[in-house]
Chains A and B, each alone.
Chain A
Amino acid sequence: MQHTVSRLVAVFLALVLAGPAAAHVSQQGFVLLLPTNVYMTAGIWVVAVTALAIAFTPGDVGERLFSTLALPKIPAPHWETVTSLLAFLFLCWLVSMGLSGSRDPLANPLPLFIWTVFWIMLVIVQAVIGNLWHWINPWTGIARLLFANPRRRPILAWPAWLGSWPAIVGLLAFSSFVLADPAPDDPARLAMIVAGYWLFTMVAILVFGERQWLARGEFLTILMRHFASLAPLRLGRRASCLGAPAWQLLSAAPHSASAGIFVLILLGTGSFDGLNETFWWLSLIDVNPLEFPGRSAIITETVTGLLLTNTLLVLAFAILVWTGHRMATRRVLPAERTGYRDVFGKLCLSTLPIALAYHVAHYLTVVLVNGQYALAAASDPYAIGADYLGLGTFYVTTGFFNSRDTVQVIFLTQAGAVVLGHAIAILIAHAIALRIYGQNRLAVISQIPVAAFMIAYTFLGLWLLAAPKGA
């Protein structure tokens, strides 16, 4: 319905999405006063210079950037079953809290844990320390208990044509829920969805086997593994290695083009989840940003925008990679060329640092606010007036959005993450191309379109941070 009068509509704009969400009008106000054009220019220059520098550097330098230091073998204990079972029990407790605890999404442990701790923080932790998810996913333990025989054959084999498409569908469904659902924070609603998804995955594991489903069908495990591959340190049973962030992408080999598309959708979704708050987007879908009508009024628009953004990104990236590939292999006999699909799949991985940067930049403010609520809920999970952590009188604050200095620090942190993510992406893309084409010249030629894309994407990322927002 169209709503008249609201003097209050929109004094505070933005608190981003329902699920994970938080911006603040005074923060926005100060951002608009910051010299963001200068920051944007500087950021784009940094990425562009990185691209030029790597192009004019001898080939081995590009690869040496990502060389690794072998570390002594660190014996990783086989505790996955136990830790996964513990994680499962914790999840059961969370779901029960979602059903019976406080109805306030900022006091109930379930939405705070799922959105703030799991979805926002764990992704970042994965990228810093590695694949923690391997130990704490809530399925492995049960699966091993229930279907203990490791030689048990899955009921169904994984057809090759299926690729990673089930995971892509899962990721898009999840993203639609996060971005378009009217109440993804509602504790009971979220509890049903979490429990339902757990059960669905369990059944899928039964049908396709743990390895197949978690590697190709379950979007969270794939997503977590991808972000873990950005971590500098990799512990291994045979060898452990330390290198520059993202070095692990060099040796990764996506099993299909759809695996690459999955990675691009991570980026596309992260990008849309910034775009959809801007005045620009809201004007496009005919919504007055100062009188935002609520999520339920724009579900179709949001889902359409999400799908459209991802489609456009995948097409654009595919065309750019193809163009670069053609430019580099013009004089190579077709039989000697690396297949385009293989090139596409590998180069898609190079966008992971950008996806992580978007994640960090977009959710930094949410963590700053909802992290406090999560802390308060940890101290009093049952909302009975307990104070297990001894916080005393604890008031959540958003005071850091109210001064120019702190807003500037927040903005520069976000912008810094975006620039760093793009710079690393350009370097790792170059190193991947070196491996594919073998020669520096060919690698550089092949990367001209992709590097241009990444520079343009830097602009988009920084613009999204600086643009006025209203949803």
Chain B
Amino acid sequence: MPIIKKPSRLVTRRSALKGLAVGTGAVAAAGTLPGFVRYSQAQSSEPIRIGFQVHRTGIGAAYGRWYDRTTQAATKAINDAGGINGRPVEIIAEDDGTDPKRGAEVVEKFASQHNCDLAFGTLFSHVVFGSAPRAGELKIPYFVVSEGHHVASGKLNRYTLQPGITDVKSQVQAMAPFVSDNLGKKVTMIYPDFAFGHDHRDYFSAALEQQGGEVIAKIAIPPTESSFTKYFPKIPRDTEVIYHVMVGPAVLTFVKEMGEFYGPNKPEIFGFIDSLEAVDMASPGLEFLEGSYFWEGNPRYAQKDQSTYDKDYRAAVGVDDNGASVSDPKDVSTYSHMFGCWETLYTIKDGMEAAGYKGPEDRTKLIEAVESITDIPHSAEHPQGAKIFNGKTHQVFGHQYISKVKDGKLELAHTTSIEDTLYDDEVDYTTQPF
């Protein structure tokens, strides 16, 4: 264990630090004998050091900014409430440049240089893939917030867990019952022609078939395409639903051109908010999406029946009822994803408390404690909703939200059951040795 370092130097944000000061202050106030207090304080206020692998630069930076903001807010909340096992939490942020090779180096820094208890926070799947093997070699728990199916697929290792955000496979398959029951049975999919799009194609086609529906056309768009008019005539006339998952800078052009192609007589349209995460739904050109549906990981706009948990979570992160920053209504957050940082940190807290975590020697106990988590109730710690954690696959499962665009906002139309998101286990990490 490291001796106490000046925490100030190592924490990235003043908010987290203020919380830290409160935490240590409370411990100090509890003692009576001055000499003894100093000692016990030194022992008990040794911070829990969480290495935060954050996309500060590179293509993930816009997400990274909100992941950072949410992480700082959760850390402050945890520290304000006394920390973990009475110890303050300290976030050590390292930029991975949204780069897999750099990601592995960052994990190594957490383990070897910064004496972190664990690593946390990675979003982009290729960085997770690049970093997880190193985490396994260094035997440092690696809590990702990535949504990739990579954890549950069995391709990673016992040290890698995803307890705070659901994976793409469960999200996509959970859309099929709603689409089939409410929008139509004949679906045309439009997706970018690479792994991300292919996953949507494969998971959704299979799930829709089980519901008695059919994907009647699969239109793959080359990733470098910036105009789409030539693809729309390929949409079969009997299409009842268009399922689109376009991403990248040409998304707005895609929507505009689809609007021009169809005019007012459009089929039902269903998409994933990933296309428009952090984009203002009231942007000019998006009018065509009025009446269409989107998957959301967490409803961006505060709903009529908003839970107090969501309300408090928004306030803590500094997000208003439209999902934008309280300091700038145009600064729309990555609301469907960033809650994963908040929830993962609280799961780490639960795991550490259950394991009686004292330091890196207890890392395997922490993993076993998290593996034994099953039901996660809807709470202030888990504001997105209740969840079920699968200790064997290291993946959490939870409700998915389907919202309808109404007056330029997203209004919740349907909440899936957790059961809709489940699939057969593809791995049992608990059988792997540490």
Residues of A within 8 A of B (CB): 1, 3-15, 17-19, 21-22, 24-26, 28-33, 100-107, 182-183, 185-186, 279, 282-283, 288-297, 380, 382-387, 393-400, 402-404, 406, 468-471
| Closest partner residue, chain B, to A105 (CB atom) | B95
B interface size (C-beta, 8 A) = 88
Q: Which residues of chain A are within 8 angstroms of B69 by Cβ–Cβ distance?
A: 395
Q: Which residue of A lies closest to B55 (CB)?
A: A15
In the complex, chain B residues whose CB is within 8 Å of the CB of A296: 97, 99-102
A399: which B residues are within 8 A, CB to CB?
324-325, 328-332
Say yes or no: A385 contacts B95, CB within 8 Å: no
Which chain A residues lie closer than 8 Å to B277 at the CB level?
A: 11-12
Contacts of A26 in B (CB 8 A): 252, 278-280, 283
**Which residues from B are CB-within-8-Å of A24?**
62
- List A contacts of B200 (CB < 8 A): 7
Question: B60 contacts A12, CB within 8 Å?
Answer: yes
- Interchain Cβ contacts within 8 Å, total number: 294
Helix, strand, loop or mixed for chain A's interface?
A: loop
CB atoms of A383 and B12 under 8 A apart: yes
Task: Name 15 extra pairs, CB < 8 A, besides A3-B195, A385-B15.
Answer: A3-B129, A6-B125, A6-B126, A9-B196, A10-B196, A11-B277, A18-B57, A104-B12, A105-B95, A290-B247, A382-B8, A395-B327, A397-B327, A397-B328, A404-B285
CA of A339 to CA of B327 in the docked complex: distance in angstroms?
61
- CB–CB A397/B331 < 8 A: yes
Binds A, one of B147-155, B304-312, B416-424: B147-155
A288 pairs with B62, CB closer than 8 A: no
| Subset of 13 A-B contacts with CB under 8 Å | A7-B199, A29-B279, A31-B249, A32-B253, A101-B9, A102-B10, A104-B68, A105-B95, A185-B56, A185-B57, A282-B224, A290-B223, A468-B224
Q: Are B99 and A294 in contact (CB under 8 A)?
A: yes
Contacts of A104 in B (CB 8 A): 12, 54, 56, 68, 93-95
Within 8 A of A (CB), among B85-137: 92-95, 97-102, 105, 109, 114, 123-127, 129-130
Known: A11-B275, A15-B59, A105-B57. A289 touches B223 (CB 8 A): yes
| A396 nearest CB across to chain B (Å) | 7
Residues of A with C-beta under 8 A to B327: 393-395, 397
A-contacting residues, B259-285, CB 8 Å: 272, 274-275, 277-280, 283-285
Q: A283-B224, A397-B331 are in contact. Are A290 and B196 (CB under 8 A)?
A: yes
Determine if B148 and A6 form an interchain contact, defined as CB atoms under 8 angstroms apart.
yes
Contacts of A21 in B (CB 8 A): 57-58, 61
A27 to B284, CA, bound (A): 13
Do A185 and B95 touch (CB < 8 A)?
yes
B249 touches A8 (CB 8 A): no
Partner of A383, one of B9, B57, B63, B330: B9
Q: Is B412 an interface residue (CB 8 A)?
A: no
Tell me which residues across on chain A come within 8 A of B147, comparing CB atoms.
7-8
**Is B216 an interface residue, CB under 8 A from the partner?**
no
* In the complex, chain B residues whose CB is within 8 Å of the CB of A383: 8-14, 17
Contacts of B173 in A (CB 8 A): none
| Residue contact B251 to A29, C-beta cutoff 8 Å | yes
Chain A residues near B130 (CB, 8 Å)? 1, 3, 294
Q: Which of B8, B95, B127 is packed against the most chain A CB atoms within 10 Å?
A: B95
When distances are taken between beta carbons in the complex, the residues of chain A under 8 Å from B123 are: 8
B65 touching A4, Cβ below 8 Å:
no
Kindly provide the distance from the CB of A401 to the nearest chain B CB, expressed in whole angstroms: 9
**How far apart sit A14 and B18, CA to CA, in the bound complex (Å)?**
33
Considering the complex, which residues of chain B in the window 316-347 have a beta carbon less than 8 Å from any beta carbon of chain A?
318, 324-332, 337
A166 to B9, CA, bound (A): 38
- At the interface, yes or no: B376 with Cβ under 8 Å from chain A? no
Task: Pick the residue among B14, B56, B194, B332 that contacts A290 (CB under 8 A).
Answer: B194
Given contacts A29-B252, A399-B331, A5 and B58 within 8 Å (CB-CB): no
Given A104-B54, A384-B17, A15 and B330 contact (CB-CB distance below 8 Å): no
Question: Chain B contacts of A33 at CB under 8 A?
Answer: 252-253, 256, 285
A102-B10, A383-B12 known; A12+B226 contact, CB < 8 A? no
- Distance from A74 Cβ to chain B, minimum over Cβ atoms (Å): 42
Set of chain B residues within 8 Å of A4, measured between Cβ atoms: 125, 129, 150, 195, 199
Whether B126 pairs with A293 at a CB distance below 8 angstroms is: yes
Is the CB of B248 closer than 8 A to any CB of chain A?
Answer: yes
In the bound complex, CA of A176 to CA of B357 (Å): 45
User: Which of chain B's residues has its CB closest to A395's CB?
Assistant: B327
Whether A400 and B125, one on each chain, are in contact in the complex, defined by CB atoms closer than 8 angstroms, is no
Return chain A residues, CB-CB under 8 Å to B318: 393, 395
> In whole angstroms, how far apart are the Cα atoms of A14 and B147 in the complex?
21
Say yes or no: B95 contacts A186, CB within 8 Å: yes
Of A22, A182, A468, the residue contacting B97 (CB under 8 A) is A182
A292 nearest in chain B by CB position: B59
Of B130, B147, B245, B330, the most chain A CB neighbours within 10 A belong to: B330
Residues in B with CB closer than 8 Å to A103 are 10, 12, 92-95, 109, 114
Which of chain A's residues has its CB closest to B192's CB? A290
Alpha-carbon distance A394/B425, docked complex (angstroms): 44
Chain B residue at minimal CB-CB distance from A396: B65
Is B355 among interface residues, defined by CB-CB distance under 8 A? no
Q: How far is the CA of A333 from the CA of B422 in the complex (A)?
A: 87
* Cα distance, A385 to B248, chains bound together (Å): 36
Contact of B160 with A by CB under 8 A = no
A187, chain B: closest CB distance, angstroms:
9
Q: What is the minimal beta-carbon distance from B285 to any residue of chain A, in angstroms?
A: 6
Closest to A15 in B: B61
Inter-subunit contact B328/A395 (CB<8 Å): yes
- Which residues of the other chain, A, contact B101 by a CB distance below 8 angstroms? 182, 294, 296-297
CB distance from B351 to the nearest CB of A (A): 24
B196 touches A291 (CB 8 A): yes
Across the interface, do B59 and A13 meet the contact criterion of CB distance under 8 Å? yes
B contact residues around A17 at 8 Å (CB): 57
- What per-residue 1/0 map shows which CB atoms of B190-229 lie under 8 Å from chain A? 0010111001100000000000000000000001101000
Chain A positions within 8 Å of B253 at CB level: 29, 32-33
A31 to B252 CA separation, bound complex (whole angstroms): 10
